[in-house]
């Protein structure tokens, strides 16, 4: 594999299935795979927001897009057999911490049984070779440590979202031990890994209760940004950073098999693990105007104060490392959303940002 970059020659013509392709991360990944020349199919619910990156950037134009629920095993399995993917990247999920308090049943059924359905569908194929299950940095049992969690630290999760992602990690480990075991790799030929990334940000995210969409909505309206916990520290990174890690991991699984199976962290440099207030102030400065921010009353729902990940494993074994510093990341997001407001061609601009990232 190329050090740092993504191997275009490897991905060209590869059959790939992305679950959750209509979401924020899934749309960016689908665009990147299309740019690499992969044969991409997606399986997901309809776009979760209006507007959405999937529709604004015309993501579905160059891929097979199947609208379906990850909890519908028969439809999911049928999609796998129709497309026959060699590589599967599983991102379909209920992805919001605060929504998990309002909809715990949806959160658990999607994030647990969706994972079981995907892995069971893969188990019943003879064509899938590499599977990456994307979980979350919040799968760890959080102890408010100042240092980063490593892949072998204890998993847990306080809120239903974080807990469901820890459960998804357990499910992945069980399937790897029971059905995709390294000792029997010559028979099943499936290499399965999980990927844990930090707080991803980027253009085209309009989800509720996420920092960047909240900032964009407020600044667009000329209002101060309301933030719940200005001192909360998170491992912020542009969405393309972990996606590049997933692509490098999937290639390693495909080429080297169970040697690369297991859990992997993808996180920014320590210097980019910053408090919410820093993000808001940098974004506001680059956006222009003087809206500023204000503290919002807490609704007493538990949220982590400090969260860091250690990505030494990915850096050493995959040659992966962050490419954009956080200030540059925010500049790119401002560029994307201001271009959207100006009615630019967002398909073209999104592809241009991927190319800029690779340069």
Query: Residues 159-217: pLDDT tens digits?
Result: 999 999 999 999 999 999 999 999 999 999 999 999 999 789 999 999 988 899 999 99
What's the rounded Cα separation, in Å, for the pair 91 and 134? 5
The answer on pLDDT for 4 being more than 60 is: no
Looking at residue 311, which CATH number applies to its domain?
A: 3.40.50.720
User: Within a domain: residue 86?
Assistant: yes
For the chain, give the percent of residues with pLDDT over 70: 95
User: Within a domain: residue 3?
Assistant: no
Average pLDDT of the residues of the chain: 93
Residue 301 pLDDT grade (very low, low, confident, very high; cuts 50, 70, 90)? low
The range of the structural domain enclosing residue 234 comes to 8-358
Residue 153 pLDDT grade (very low, low, confident, very high; cuts 50, 70, 90)? confident
10-14, 97-101, 342-346: least confident range: 97-101
User: Within a domain: residue 318?
Assistant: yes
User: Within a domain: residue 1?
Assistant: no
pLDDT for 142 equals 82
Give the count of domains, the chain: 1
287 φ, ψ (degrees, to nearest 5): -70, -35
Angle, helices 346-358/326-341, rounded to nearest 10 degrees: 160
* Helical segments of 18-159, H only: 24-36, 53-56, 73-83, 97-102, 104-108, 114-123
What's the rounded Cα separation, in Å, for the pair 348 and 56? 11
pTM of the model: 0.94
Strands (E) in the chain, as ranges, are 15-19, 39-44, 64-67, 87-90, 130-134, 191-197, 199-201, 225-227, 233-238, 262-266, 273-275, 293-295
User: Within a domain: residue 2?
Assistant: no
User: Within a domain: residue 313?
Assistant: yes
The answer on pLDDT for 241 being more than 70 is: yes
Are 67 and 46 contacting, i.e. CB atoms less than 8 angstroms apart?
yes
Mean predicted confidence (pLDDT) in 103-132: 97
């Amino acid at each position: 594999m190329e050090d740092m970059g993504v191997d275009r020659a490897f991905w060209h013509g590869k059959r790939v299935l992305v679950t959750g392709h209509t979401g924020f991360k899934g749309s960016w990944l689908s665009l990147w795979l299309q740019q690499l020349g992969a044969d991409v199919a997606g399986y997901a619910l309809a776009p979760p927001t209006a507007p959405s990156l999937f529709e604004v950037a015309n993501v579905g134009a160059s891929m097979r897009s199947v609208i379906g629920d990850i909890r519908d095993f028969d439809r999911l399995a049928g999609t796998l057999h129709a497309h026959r993917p060699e590589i599967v990247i599983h991102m379909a999920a209920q992805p919001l911490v605060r929504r998990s308090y309002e909809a715990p049943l949806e959160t658990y059924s999607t994030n647990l049984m969706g994972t079981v359905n995907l892995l069971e569908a893969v188990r019943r194929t003879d064509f899938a070779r590499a599977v990456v299950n994307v979980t979350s940095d919040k799968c760890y049992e959080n102890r408010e440590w100042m240092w980063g969690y490593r892949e072998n630290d204890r998993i847990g999760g306080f809120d239903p979202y974080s807990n469901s992602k820890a459960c998804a990690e357990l499910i992945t480990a069980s399937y790897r031990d029971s059905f995709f075991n390294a000792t029997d790799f010559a028979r099943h030929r499936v290499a399965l890994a999980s990927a844990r990334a930090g707080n991803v940000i980027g253009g085209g995210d309009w989800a509720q209760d996420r920092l960047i969409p909240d900032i964009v909505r407020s600044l667009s309206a000329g209002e101060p940004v309301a933030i719940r916990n200005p001192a909360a520290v998170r491992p912020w990174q542009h969405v393309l950073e972990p996606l590049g890690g997933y692509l490098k991991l999937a290639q390693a699984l495909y080429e080297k098999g169970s040697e690369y199976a297991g859990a992997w962290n993808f996180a920014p440099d320590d210097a980019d693990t910053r408090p919410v207030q820093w993000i808001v102030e940098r974004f506001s400065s680059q956006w222009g105007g003087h809206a500023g921010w204000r503290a919002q009353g807490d609704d007493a729902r538990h949220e982590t104060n400090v969260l860091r990940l250690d990505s030494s494993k990915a850096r050493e074994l995959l040659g992966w490392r962050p490419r954009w510093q956080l200030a540059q990341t925010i500049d790119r997001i401002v560029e994307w959303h201001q271009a959207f407001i100006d009615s630019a061609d967002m398909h073209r601009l999104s592809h241009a940002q991927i190319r800029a990232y690779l340069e």
